[in-house]
Every structure is written in C-alpha cells, then in structure tokens.
Amino acid sequence: MATKLPFFIREDDPPAKQQILRAAMKLFSAQGLDATTIRDIARESGYTNPALYKHFAGKEELALHLFETGHRRLWTKCHAAIEAATGFDDKLEAYIGQVLELVDEHPETMAFLSDSARVLWPKAAPAVRRQTMIGLARSLMSLASRPRRGRPAVNPDVAAASLQGTLAEMARMVQVGVIPGPATRWKADLVALFRSVAS
C-alpha cells in the first residue's frame, strides 16, 4: 500500500525534491520564512546546498512553490466540497468541514499557508491568485437565504471575511493548544454560528 504524500508534494516530484520540500515545510512552519536559511533546509533534508539549487533557485522560489502547491490543493478541495453539496446549509457544512479536516490532516501546511500569505500571495502566479479562498467564502455566503423581516442583510464580503478569519483563528487556537483538538470537533459550533449570521 502506497504511503499518502503530504499535501504540498506532487506525485511526480522526484525523491530528493520530496525530501527537500518536507524539510522546508517543517522549518518554515516552525520557524517562519525569515528565520529559515537554505543551509537549515539542506541540513534538515540531508542534502547539500547544491542539491537544493538543482531544484530551486533559492529559498524564496522554494517557499513560493510550497505556497502555490498548498494553496491550489486547499482551494480545489474546498471548491469540490461546496460543489458536491446542495443548498446553502449543506454547502456551508461541507466547506467548514473540509477546512477543519485539512487543519487536522495537514497542520504544518495550513499554518504555513496562513502565516506566509502576506509575503507570498503577491508573488504567486496569476492563475493561483484567481482562485482565492475569500472568493470561495464570498460565493458561499452569497447563497444564504434572505434575512428575516426587519433584519438588515449581511454584506457577503463582511460575512466571507468573518468566516475565513474565524476558521483561521480556530485553526491557530487548536495548533497552539488554546482549545482542544481535533479541529473537526468544533464543526457543529462553527456551522451553527455562520448559519445564524446568514439568516
């Protein structure tokens, strides 16, 4: 039985590149981009600096590769979860559930995507930047039923920002131990919260 590859590794990545990517993700997630050097990655991966440069021009290119690969997979999985469900309530539950499952299954990658977005998002390829998580959340929250009489409609941009911000902060709270995990244990509470926001 084949071992499941991490979220940020492609099946066609050669073994040396896979090991370098694993080492870089571990260090970027634990130490951050600025505090991690190419030498740290080489030491952690068991490869020399020249071996790393065979696959990537430098640390920045390596970090951007990890970011783009991780983001594409996150967006694709969440988009598929929304598309497979019918009706706002089921789509909301599917979306929140998918994000929380990924937090539990790939904590390093999800932390890296969140923590490095400010630096790496502007450098990402146009095709990556067209598939935004905030865009997915906005399209989802736009499907909510109209508010009850006498209640103002919630702006979809505000609702999307609230959804994405809450999911990111819940993930961080689980990862640092402020609240108990797994992240999926909070799914019902989060779904209930955002159903009430949308109603």
Which of 69-83, 147-161, 170-184 is least confident? 147-161
Tokens read off for 170: 């819940």
Rounded Cα distance between 31 and 35, Å, is: 6
- Helix or strand holding residue 159 (H, E): helix 156-176
Rounded Cα distance between 21 and 8, Å, is: 8
The mean of the pLDDT values for the chain is 90
The predicted pLDDT at position 154 comes to 76
The predicted pLDDT at position 5 comes to 78
Question: pLDDT grade, residue 144 (50/70/90)?
Answer: confident
What CATH superfamily is the domain 65-198?
Answer: Tetracycline Repressor, domain 2 (1.10.357.10)
Residue with tokens 């809450």: 166
Question: pLDDT grade, residue 149 (50/70/90)?
Answer: low
Give the rounded percent of residues in the chain with a pLDDT score beyond 90: 73
Domain coordinates of the chain in residue numbers?
11-56, 65-198
Please, are residues 145 and 151 in contact by the beta-carbon 8 Å criterion?
no
Query: What phi, psi does 164 have (nearest 5°)?
Result: -65, -40
CATH architecture of structural domain 11-56:
Orthogonal Bundle (1.10)
